[in-house]
Amino acid sequence: MHLTTIFSEQMLTLFVILAVGALLGSFSWRGVSLGTAGVLFVALVFGHYGLSVPKAVQDLGLLLFVYAVGLQAGPRFFRTFRRLGLRFAAIGLTVALTGALATLGLSRLLDLPADLAAGLYTGALTCTPALAAAIDTFSRLSPQAGGAVSVGYGIAYPFSMIGIVLLVQALPRLLKRDLRLEENAWLAERQRELPMLLVKQYRVTNPNADGKTLLEINPHRLARVNITRIRRGEDVFLVSPNTVLRLGDVVLAVGPQEELEKIKIILGEETDVPMDRNTKITTQDLEMISPAFAGKTLADLRVWENFGVVITRIRRQGVEIAPIGSVTLEVGDGLHIVGERENVQAFVKQVGGDTRQAHETSMLPYLIGLVLGIGVGMIPFRLPGGVEVELGIAGGAFLVSLVFGHFGRIGNLRLYVPAAARNLTRELGLMLFLAGAGTTAGVHLVEVIRAQGWMLALCGAAVTILSAAAGLFLMLRVFRMQTLASLGALTAAMTNPPALAAANNQTTTDLATLSYASVYPAALIFKIVFAQLLAAALLAWF
């Protein structure tokens, strides 16, 4: 039976490509693996034998992928961009622009077809959304000339992925940098910026505090700490704003070290006594799920007065926040609470809500975001020189998802997407897109490789090397960045997740990951834009 007969059902073709591609991507050699890109190479083979995947599936996969990436990056992107935005934007711009200029020069020098050169650019910089943008540009400007975009991507991609991984592993030794010293310096700086919350006890010895309520002393105005329990004699009880302090009381406070020093001045000497004598008092960690509490400050909620519990810690996206009155709760926040057992159970039931909600996506705002993203991507705008550019569905969805990921809402609709749902959407969307793009490109794969395969691979390697070198020069010589931060930024500028894994293997900190998250959105946007500009320029000039 002929292969095309067996795979006459396109859905069967699609999921065989996904399954075999996932199997291929799971194999690794010295920490290097194709990952999701394995789907692309399997799809190229299937496409060569005349099998295809519906175009609508490819477009849907692209939308889901970039939307999930934006939702994940949004909260970190805007927070870090305010502080070091120009630096991160410059890194992403430098790498994307260097790659585009190198591709343009090589394509003119070697007389490469426009679609092949555009695919070369996206593969050399390992950027799938840019590949999608280039394909979209050719489909709008010259449909008959865009068949080999994915072929160029597929030929240039392997060297870029593997080469950057090897560079990341070797660069600290080449630069003769001591990563441990850099780690310690960064941890000290991070401790100053985001101090860890500590738990300490203080005996009330200040006469000025005797007979005063916590509301009168108002520690939240003087120190960002939370007082949760008091021991008086042999009794231990929870506090409220109206709790009266007495000389000799021992209070338990939670907060950063610097703020705890302030409360020490207000109350008295530090001590250490057992605070677990009241068996009715319990602690519990929970995830804030209930929409009724989202968007409200702790002062508005009046947690102690209404629920009889004290929130001692809030953890949001890996950062601990001191729970003072001005802090706003968001869906997905991790809360550490203290209270009597009955009150804790009642609070967990209301704030935690139905535990099934922790695994459910807010579908209405999620879908509204996709609609708006597609709309934004369809808006054309002109750049200097008369070139008209559209972000396309990929760029539009990504920009909108960045904004929604940051604000977490659309009007009064709060957007909540569990981490597992984001991960599944990102990976499945990417696989669907690669399956469609690969089968389309596979039709021309063999003839292109026969004609100029090795030359094209060398061109892709040259674009990768020049782009990475330009980015590293800017990071290490101009901005004087730490080595680990530079490695994370390089992997983001090259949009190369396997290289990020190689960088993380060299450190126990999350410095490389944070740098990656900061540079990645800007790098992705610039590559999407330059892929379209490059495609338009190649079509116009050749």
What pLDDT does residue 472 have? Answer: 95
For residues 173 and 50, membership in a common domain is answered with yes
What pLDDT does residue 528 have? Answer: 82
**Res. 159 pLDDT band, cuts 50 70 90:** confident
Of 268, 294, 314, the residue that ends a domain is 268
What confidence tens digit (pLDDT) does each residue in 43-82 have? Answer: 878 887 778 888 888 888 878 887 887 777 676 666 666 6
Q: Is the pLDDT of residue 456 over 70?
A: yes
Torsion of CA 393, 399, 401, 404, to 10 degrees: -140
Of 215, 249, 268, the residue that ends a domain is 268
SS (H, E, C) 454-482: HHHHHHHHHHHHHHHHHHHHHHHHHCCCC
Sign for the CA dihedral angle at 468, 471, 473, 475 comes to: negative
What pLDDT does residue 477 have? Answer: 92
What pLDDT does residue 1 have? Answer: 47
For residues 129 and 242, membership in a common domain is answered with no
* pTM listed for this prediction: 0.62
Q: Is residue 219 included in any domain, yes or no?
A: yes
Q: Is residue 400 included in any domain, yes or no?
A: no
Tell me the average pLDDT across 482-501. 84
Q: Is residue 255 included in any domain, yes or no?
A: yes
Of 268, 287, 306, the residue that ends a domain is 268
536, burial (CB in 10 Å: exposed 0-12, middle 13-18, buried 19+): buried
Sign for the CA dihedral angle at 474, 479, 125, 133 comes to: negative
To the nearest whole number, what is the mean pLDDT of the chain? 79
Domain count, the chain: 2
**Res. 97 pLDDT band, cuts 50 70 90:** very high
What are the start-end ranges of the E strands in 168-303?
Answer: 197-203, 226-232, 235-238, 250-256, 270-271, 281-287
Sign for the CA dihedral angle at 24, 72, 402, 160 comes to: negative
**Res. 141 pLDDT band, cuts 50 70 90:** confident
> Residue 140 CB: number of other CB atoms within 10 A?
16
Residues 227 and 207: their CA atoms lie apart, in Å, by 19
HSE toward the beta carbon, residue 110, CA cutoff 13 A? 21
For residues 117 and 255, membership in a common domain is answered with no
What pLDDT does residue 192 have? Answer: 61
Domain that holds residue 457: 3-186+424-541
For residues 140 and 250, membership in a common domain is answered with no
What pLDDT does residue 389 have? Answer: 60
Q: Is residue 415 included in any domain, yes or no?
A: no
What confidence tens digit (pLDDT) does each residue in 18-47 have? Answer: 898 888 877 766 555 666 767 877 887 888
Q: Is the pLDDT of residue 515 over 70?
A: yes
Q: Is the pLDDT of residue 475 over 90?
A: yes
Q: Is residue 287 included in any domain, yes or no?
A: no
Greatest CA separation for the chain: 94
230 SS3 class: strand
